Structure 1
Amino acid sequence: MTGILTSHADARWLVATPEYAGVTAYTGGIGRHYAALLPALARQGIAVDLAIETNDELVSDDAGDGIRLIGGGVRRAYRSRRHDVVFAPEWRGLAAMLPRTAPLLTNLATGVRLADEVSGFRPADLPIGQRVVRARQAAAERRQLYRSAGLISISRAMLERTSDLYPGLPPARVVRNCIDVDAVAAAAARAGVPQGWPDDEAPVVLFLGRSERRKGIEDAFSAFRRVHEELPRARLVVAGAGGDARYEPTRAALVEMLPPSARDRVTWLGHVPGDELYGAIARADVVICPSRWEGFGNVALEVKTIGTPLIVTSGSGYDEFCTDGQDCQSVPPADPERLAAAIDVAVRHPAWARTLAEHARAQVADFAPDPVARDLIGAATDLLAGAIRPRLDASRRPR
């Protein structure tokens, strides 16, 4: 194992990611997390090389102070100079082809096998061409996991679920995700709303997340059907990217879940880039994140930072930082009836809901970039200090 990390002073990290806020056109939770985290690593004295692997054109080459954006992919970047740490999510297996001697720490943030499992999706249902692509991605992610010197999991729930899928994983530590707390709060205060935002005074229920089954989109519509019966003026606004038919119901199928009187109460925003997303969160009456399972849930942190009433689901990564009745409402996953009841309470009792939101806003400082960066450095140092170990018995690895 080369590049054993003994001190973070003057250390150089190579970070690989498929998305990065402000640089790539599409940015989800990983991209916003890394865009907050990497400048914080630089403030700790770490030199950061950033390799973005995407098929889309970059919208900017400014990744933040202290971040060196390099092209050509993670393999080329790794060969170009010595790095003390290579840090990459398992999604797409970007670091799978690095040598076994690389000081690779994989950030557990939901791979394709876990996404399939949570979604109830069977790869055998895919056309043969897509099946091959999916199999290659799964193989690359598996290879990266077992070639890692250590794993950095975004939550205990993520580590437990991944360990069930992949027996005999390398050593792991849990380090929470971060958001730029100050920047999010400031953006919410100044930002306008996205184009298409409802212009009446009706209560707004904002669904945040990709329009996938695992994110609870069907549960959200089933719940809204019940909400509409009691609160016919309420609106459901759906904000999140789509386009992956493997995991998503069609809009037509979702609308069919609603009675005719409720169908014009739904607004589809699609992917909302930039600060307008925070403007939407600030103006919603309640935000729902009804994932059937979630590794962490950065967007819920953003909602708490902005101070909007929040409803999440229990039993996964949200449990790391959300407590029912204290800073949010938490309901069981895949339970539209309980979700509808929580929405009804938030809309009918806004003062109580806002009290929870104020408590939530007071708790987010520990998820700011600098404390998270310090904990990540400590975990990396710990894992790489013990990185010289026997190669895992191949018989313990799933085929």
Structure 2
Amino acid sequence: MTGSVRVLHIAETAHGGVGTYLNQVLPALVADRDTAGAPLDIRVLLPAQDSFMLPRVDDSAITTWRRDGRSLWSLLMLAKASWHAYRTVRPEIVHLHSTFAGMIVRPLLLLARVLPGRRPQVVYSPHGWAFQIAGSRGRRRAIIWLERTLARITDRVIVLSDAEMRECVALGFPPKRLQRIYNGISEAPPPALPAPEGWPDQRLKVLFIGRFDHQKGLDTLIAAARLAPDRIAVRCIGASVVSGGPALDLPDNVAPLGWLDEPRIMAQLAMADVVAMPSRWEGFGLVAIEAMRAGRPVVASRIGGLPEVVEEGVTGRLVPPDDPEALLAALLADTPETRRTMAEAGRARFLAHFTARDSARQVATLYRQLLGREAARS
């Protein structure tokens, strides 16, 4: 039996999709074995206030640092903590998660090239690109240039979909550095915690899960709900990411629920007829596979990685973004029997392509390819 492969994961934040990914995939990585039986020795560095996001990860594998907002001082503390963790763990692979960890730690790891010992292989998961966020043209060009430059000193950049792969190649990223690995979640969700009030409504019950921001397109769903107050009822799990922002002007058939924990989300999914994802851009679409796991059809925007997750007419419907009329038509297009058939197909598609076990297997294979422990495969 060969020795373990030491892997250090570093995250600047573990809220949202990053935390879900680490909590779901890391335990599956720990359980992985290669053909020689060598285990992966997984360690994680993340902010102390975010450690609760990883209940499935052993506490002994977690090292924390104190994050104070997103100030220059906080980023310097990230750099210091990352270097200390690297010198302590001596990992063979450093896996960085999200924009700030990628931008701060990758240049720092260049120092490892001049130190004694083997240079670690560096893997970067952006979990959605910062240059996709709406902003000035100059800001977007600067971020593209920086990410493209850093990609050349990264052994692999994991993109979430074939759509992201094509976009990165078109922007000049080195193709040999890119690898597409879909996100995954556990096959068995936590038990639902029933909502005492239920969802007593004869209208179509539509569920939205996500941030109340421009990317997620909640305003498009609200506009669609205004067009048919007697036909659909919408519940929204989430909140604005900007405190003190303007209150949403919601019609009577749209109800905000705030952020909920996973068991309560499962309860809402169990009561919903369909899940809506009217996003304006989306690298993958984690909510879509959560809905498919729960046996719910998805109506989503035909953008980014969502068409790779949702099959038109099979597991749900795809519509143009920013089109309330098209969104409403797709939500109302199917009979209950058709939605049940789509739900069954979605559950089967999730199990075939989007489980944490499958995602972890591909990540582990990538690690061992980088270390020369497994022959490279196309």
Question: Do both proteins adopt the same fold according to a TM-score greater than 0.5, normalized to the shorter chain?
Answer: yes
In structure 2, what is the Cα distance between the partners aligned to 1:333 and 1:375?
31
| Aligned partner of residue 345 in structure 1, secondary structure | coil
Partner in structure 2 of residue 311 of structure 1: 299
CA deviation vs aligned residue, 1:193-250 (integer Å, no higher than 9, x gap): 3x8875555432111221121211222122222232xxx15322111232238xx984
CA contact (8 A) 2:10 2:46 kept: yes
> Is residue 356 of structure 1 aligned with residue 342 of structure 2?
yes
Partner in structure 1 of residue 359 of structure 2: 372
Alignment of 1:33-112 (within 5 A): 33-44=21-32, 45-53=39-47, 56=49, 58-59=51-52, 62-65=55-58, 68-72=61-65, 73-94=81-102, 95-100=105-110, 101=113, 102-112=120-130
Number of residue pairs the alignment of both structures matches: 341
State the identity as a percent.
25
| Aligned partner of residue 79 in structure 1, secondary structure | helix
Partner in structure 2 of residue 174 of structure 1: 180
In structure 1, what is the Cα distance between the partners aligned to 2:207 and 2:89?
46
Partner in structure 2 of residue 300 of structure 1: 288
Partner in structure 2 of residue 205 of structure 1: 206
Q: TM-score, normalised by structure 2?
A: 0.79
Partner in structure 1 of residue 71 of structure 2: none
List 4+ stretches of structure 1 deviating above 6 A. Answer: 134-140
In the TM superposition, residue 178 of structure 1 has moved relative to its aligned partner by 0.6
| Aligned partner of residue 214 in structure 1, secondary structure | coil
Among 156, 163, 179, which residue is 2:162 paired with?
156
Change (3 A) 1:164 1:90: farther
Unaligned runs of 5+ in 2: 33-38, 66-80, 114-119, 374-378
Change (3 A) 1:8 1:71: farther
Partner in structure 2 of residue 391 of structure 1: none
In the TM superposition, residue 93 of structure 1 has moved relative to its aligned partner by 3.0
Change (3 A) 1:78 1:8: farther
CA contact (8 A) 2:276 2:299 kept: yes
Among 234, 240, 249, which residue is 2:238 paired with?
240
Among 8, 11, 14, which residue is 2:8 paired with?
14
Question: RMSD of aligned C-alpha atoms?
Answer: 3.3
CA deviation vs aligned residue, 1:160-202 (integer Å, no higher than 9, x gap): 33444564476111111110121x2x53xx3223x88755554
Alignment of 1:125-144 (within 5 A): 144=150
In the TM superposition, residue 306 of structure 1 has moved relative to its aligned partner by 0.4
Higher relative contact order (CA 8 A, sep 6+): 1
In the TM superposition, residue 370 of structure 1 has moved relative to its aligned partner by 1.9
| Aligned partner of residue 151 in structure 1, secondary structure | strand
| Aligned partner of residue 251 in structure 1, secondary structure | coil
| Aligned partner of residue 13 in structure 1, secondary structure | strand
Among 271, 275, 290, which residue is 2:263 paired with?
275
